[in-house]
Structures are given as structure tokens and as C-alpha cells.
Amino acid sequence: MDTNEKFTDPQIVDDELEETAYVEIPKDKKAKRAKGIRLNLDWLNGIEEKPKKIKGTPDVNIEPTTKKAKFLKGLWSYVLITIGTALVAAGIYFFKFPNHFTMGGVSSFAVVASEFMSRFFDITVSESVIMSIANVVLLAIALLVFGKNFAIKTIYSSMLLNVIVLVLEKIIPINAPLTTSPFLEMLLTIGGIAVGSAILFSQGASSGGTDIIAMILKRFTNFNTGTALFISDAIIVALAPFVFNSFETPEKTTIFLCSATGLILKSFIVDNVIDGINMNKCFIIVTTKEKEVCDFINNELHRGATISDCRGSFSNIEKKMIIAVLNRQQATMLKLFLKQTDPTAFTIITNSSDILGKGFRIV
């Protein structure tokens, strides 16, 4: 290439246009296409007025990948938060409250506090009221520690959780367990609460309560989410035997043991579900068709990649090694592309749920 002209490739600029990559272009008919793309980028950055379409220039629409995509991403986040909150509410109301399970969380605190006030002070306060008061206090703490972004999502989830539980109390009153098997109901409780909480954590939110305490522990210690959740909930489980006389009858002992078992299972399930939600595929590709592969990653998948030189020890042939991290849908598309474009490419694909850096989670 005998030119020094450069242009910004819009497909590998992230949503906020904070990074650009520059590539050289030849002085031939491709320069017209490059010019059109460059003008579009200048317009987006406020350098030029909105350009007219140049004949032969492909449509390059970056705006949906900024404002529109950001809006849709935020909307989808709140959809997931709503689903996660509904799962937590179902597990709490239908299975946890009727069985007096105390496997952690502000709902367990509500169960213990309600029984404590009823037994020792003859004061009747419903679990849902206690849960609402406790959530308000902990939400204030979350606002101070994590800031408004986390607090807004958590406030939304917490308020929605309280509303769902209060509505269920009115339309579907439950005064006894739905089944005769405490172990089955414990599994159903854990299924709803753990999966729902994991969805919330993956979206940078929580249902309030001791989840906030767990997030604080995770932030200021080396504990992962499951361990932090276990520590914050274990204190409540330890109080249960003194309030409910858990060893007085075989039935109460069964409930306590189910609660303790559920606490342990919950921490494992939360970690595994979070890992599953955050799962990405790391590709290491050794190929001689690096241009085609990188063009596909940049232009079709809208992801970046790292290229380095390498040489086969057996063939002694110079090749390129490409490293890219993609989500599962993008990984499937890349595998199909490699199969069609370079079937001989040596490809290593690994799972990773802990990707830090621009485009993923901020360090």
C-alpha cells in the first residue's frame, strides 16, 4: 500500500465511540467506500455535518449501536430484573413463608422477627410488613455505598418484590404448606430464590435485604457472591432454633435442617447460575486467513480481536494467531464461518465467565 491515508473503521468502535482503530486503504475504487465511512464517523463525532450517501458506499448505521442499542440494553436489563424478582417472590411466598424456612435473606429475617414478636411480646406483625421496613433501611445503606445506579435497580427490584408478595397475600392467601414434603418445598424455595437472585446479581441489582450485605462484603473482601451471601445469611439461620424451638419436635427439627441445607445449596446455585449467565467463549485461532477472519469478527460480530505472529513447530509455516472473546451466539456464528472459510484453522475454544476490560466488565 502506497498511501498514508487513514480512516476510522466504525465497526470496531464500541458503543461509546471511545476507542478507534486505524487501517490503511489503497488509492483505488475502495477509497470512495472508505471516504463514505469516514464522513459518517466525522458526523457522529460532531466534526462534519451529516453526510450525503456516496454512490457505491455501503450503509454504515452506527447510531443504533449507540443510543438505540444502549436503550434496548437497559430495557432488557430491567426485563431480566423483573423476571428475577418474580422468581424470588414466588419462592418466598408459596414455599418459604408457609414452612417458616429460615435459610437467609431479609424474608427469613422477617419470618424470625414475626415469630419472635408474636411469641415473646404478643404482637402480630406480618412478614411482608417487616420485610418492607428492613428493605427500606438496607436500601439507604446501598445508596451510600454503591451509588445511585445500583440503588435505582435495587429499589425497583425491592419495591416490586414487596408489591408482588403483598398482592399474593390478598389474592392467594396461604396458611399452610402446599405439600407434605418439607424437603420438596425447600428445593422449590431454593429454586426460585437462588435463580432469581443470580439473575439480579448479573444485572448489577439485588432484591434488597441481606443481598445488599452480601454485595458489600463482595466489594470490600475477596469473597465471591455465593460465599458472601452464605456469610450474611448464616447469622439469621443460627437465630432460628432459639425462636422456633427447632429441636422441640421432629417436625421442627426437619424444618431447621432443611433451612440449613437450603442455605448451603443456595450459595452454590447462585454462583453457578451467575457463571452461566456471564459465560463467554474465548477463541484462539491459528490461521493463514487472518484478514477474512478479523473482517468477520469486526464487521459482522462487532467485536475486536488481537493478532500476533506465530509459526508452526512441525510445518515451520508463518501464520497468525487471533484471540477474541465472544458471547455464545457470536461464538456459534464464528465457528460456522471458520468451517466455511478456513476448515484447516487450528482453533481452541474455552469457557470464561470472568472477563474484565472494555466491552465487558470494568476492572
Decide if pLDDT at 44 tops 80. no
> 19-42, pLDDT tens digit by residue?
334 344 444 444 444 444 444 444
Q: How confident is the model at residue 101 (pLDDT cuts 50, 70, 90)?
A: confident
> 250 to each of 181, 242, 257, 259, 263, how far by Cα in Å?
13, 16, 10, 14, 20
The mean predicted confidence, pLDDT, of the chain is 76
Cα dihedral sign for 231, 236, 240, 242? positive
> 181-190, pLDDT tens digit by residue?
888 888 888 8
Place of cell 451510600: 144
Decide if pLDDT at 324 tops 90. yes
Q: To the nearest whole percent, how much of the chain has pLDDT over 70?
A: 80
Tell me what pLDDT residue 362 has.
53
Helix (H, G, I), strand (E, B) or coil at 17: coil
Q: How confident is the model at residue 15 (pLDDT cuts 50, 70, 90)?
A: very low
Instruction: Work out the average pLDDT over 128-133.
Output: 80
Write out the H or E segment, with its range, that includes residue 150: helix 148-171
Strands 280-287 and 22-24: unpaired
Nearest to 99 by CA among 209, 177, 167: 177
> 202 to each of 84, 174, 281, how far by Cα in Å?
10, 31, 17
> 137-162, pLDDT tens digit by residue?
888 887 888 777 777 888 888 889 88
Tell me what pLDDT residue 83 has.
93
CB atoms within 10 A of CB 8: 19
Most confident of 57-71, 83-97, 197-211: 83-97
> 285-301, pLDDT tens digit by residue?
999 999 999 999 999 99
Q: What 8-state DSSP symbol labels residue 361? A: B
Decide if pLDDT at 209 tops 50. yes
Cα dihedral sign for 326, 332, 333, 336? positive
Query: Model-level pTM?
Result: 0.60
Tell me what pLDDT residue 319 has.
92
172 exposed, middle or buried (CB, 10 Å; 0-12, 13-18, 19+)? exposed
Decide if pLDDT at 46 tops 70. no
Q: How confident is the model at residue 62 (pLDDT cuts 50, 70, 90)?
A: very low
Burial 187-224 (b: 16+ CB within 10 A, else e): bbbbbbbbbbbbbbbbbebbbbbbbbbbbbbbeeeebb
CA distance 139 to 233: 17
Q: To the nearest whole percent, how much of the chain has pLDDT over 90?
A: 19
Nearest to 282 by CA among 340, 339, 358, 355: 355
Tell me what pLDDT residue 292 has.
93
> 254-270, pLDDT tens digit by residue?
878 888 888 888 878 88
Tell me what pLDDT residue 335 has.
93
CA distance 355 to 279: 9
Beta bridge partners of 284: 323, 348
Instruction: Work out the average pLDDT over 293-320.
Output: 90
Q: Which domains does the chain have, with CATH numbers?
A: 6-63 (no CATH), 68-277 (no CATH), 280-352 (3.30.70.120)
Q: How confident is the model at residue 194 (pLDDT cuts 50, 70, 90)?
A: confident
Task: Report residue 278 as a C-alpha cell.
Answer: 456471564
Question: Angle at the Cα of 239 (from 262 to 111), degrees rounded to 5?
Answer: 70
CA distance 321 to 119: 69
- The helix-helix angle for 105-120 and 225-244 (nearest 10°) equals 10
Tell me what pLDDT residue 363 has.
46
Most confident of 41-45, 72-76, 214-218: 72-76
Strands 22-24 and 318-326: unpaired
Decide if pLDDT at 229 tops 90. no
Q: How confident is the model at residue 82 (pLDDT cuts 50, 70, 90)?
A: very high
Instruction: Work out the average pLDDT over 166-170.
Output: 88
